[in-house]
Structure 1
Amino acid sequence: FNKKIFFAKIKEMLLKYNLKNKISWHFSGNPFITSSGKLLNVVKNSIIKFSKLSPILSTSGGTSDGRFFSSMNSEIIELGPVNKTIHKINECVKVNDLKLLSKIYKNILKKIFI
């Protein structure tokens, strides 16, 4: 994603259809990918150990608060429960998912800090 190209394409379409406009751009969701290292390996191994599932790396989760830390040259990994109701009325998550996630988080902390 390149925001300069994105902005240019929008302006091009507005001109093409002779649409009068006044746009003030504010873009806060810059895409990012950080380097892979120890944290990624520990997280992947912890997920496999407790869930018996092989994690898939993905950037499809939408806007991430990780964007605020990505310029610090640190690994950024977001790991949480699968949640079909996230940010909706009556948001909920399965208790067993929280128990599993707690084991994974605990193992990650042990492997990183002990």
Structure 2
Amino acid sequence: MRGRAAGPRVPSHRRACPTAQRPGHRRLAEGDAADDGGAMSKRLDRLERDGLVARSRDDADGRGRVVHLTDAGRRVIDEAFADHVANEARLLADLTPQQAVALEELLTAWLARVEPPAR
């Protein structure tokens, strides 16, 4: 996404991306992505202003809001994901298949130690 004038900066949509990539998970409750100082609300305000997300009242909790990707937001996420996959392929292109497998195993083990498992 480098060099683009439009679209969100990576931190603005980083939390939405995993949600958007999982089939059946197109909604994110605003409270699910807790952030201090209202930073998440400010990010969501910006994304909503840019037409990438829409908010609606949470039927399960009248005080809450649910965030939905718009079609434009979905396109941005899909494009960012495609860019990521292409970059990953470029980075791994010079590795042998055995090296790629070894790297994946090492990174998987490392990630398990530094990032909590997904809920």
Regarding TM over 0.5, the answer is no
Which has the greater radius of gyration?
1
Q: Tell me which protein shows more helix as a share of its residues.
A: 2
Q: Tell me which protein shows more strand as a share of its residues.
A: 2
> Relative CO higher for 1 or 2, CA cutoff 8 Å, sep ≥ 6?
1
